[in-house]
Amino acid sequence: MNFDERKARWAAEEQMLGELLEKHRLELELGPPSSAIPLGWRAIVDELFADLAALGCRKIVQIKSKFFELRVYLPDGATAEELARVEQAVERSCRTCERCGAPADRLEMQRGATLCSACAPASAASRS
Ligand SMILES: [Zn+2]
């Protein structure tokens, strides 16, 4: 991926996060580039934000992809219910392709991303 493609992807990720925050009326303390999520995790984050908002959560400190998992940091005072819901989303992110949202093979995480077999590099596919 060259620099222009990376820049375009960052812009798309930033826009998606902005849309989801607005949709669920959530505030983000640390905005991009501190916070960013892969496009393939849109549905996971959309549902997480909906549930957090329903639980009364109004603010997220940071949301990003780290060590091939979704990471969501809630403010001090977050309830056990909110934290449990975040855990569910993190668990789901481990099994979801970060490019297209399809079920992903956890093994591909070693290549620097959580990817399904279709999105994984051809070299990964020929390995098995
Ligand atoms: Zn994929």
DSSP 50-117: HHHHHTT--EESEEEEETTEEEEEPPTT--HHHHHHHHHHHHHHTTB-TTT-SB--GGGGGGTS---T
Domain ranges of the chain: 3-94
CA 81 – ligand 1 centroid, Å: 30
Asked if 124 and 104 touch (Cβ cutoff 8 Å), the reply is: no
CA 120 – ligand 1 centroid, Å: 7
Distance, in Å, from the CA atom of 62 to the CA atom of 70, rounded to the nearest integer, reads 11
**pTM of the shown model:** 0.87
CA 125 – ligand 1 centroid, Å: 13
User: Over the stretch 65-82, which tens digit does the pLDDT of each residue have?
Assistant: 988 889 999 999 999 999
Interior angle at CA 99, CA 95 and CA 101, nearest 5: 50
User: Over the stretch 105-128, which tens digit does the pLDDT of each residue have?
Assistant: 665 555 678 888 888 875 444 444
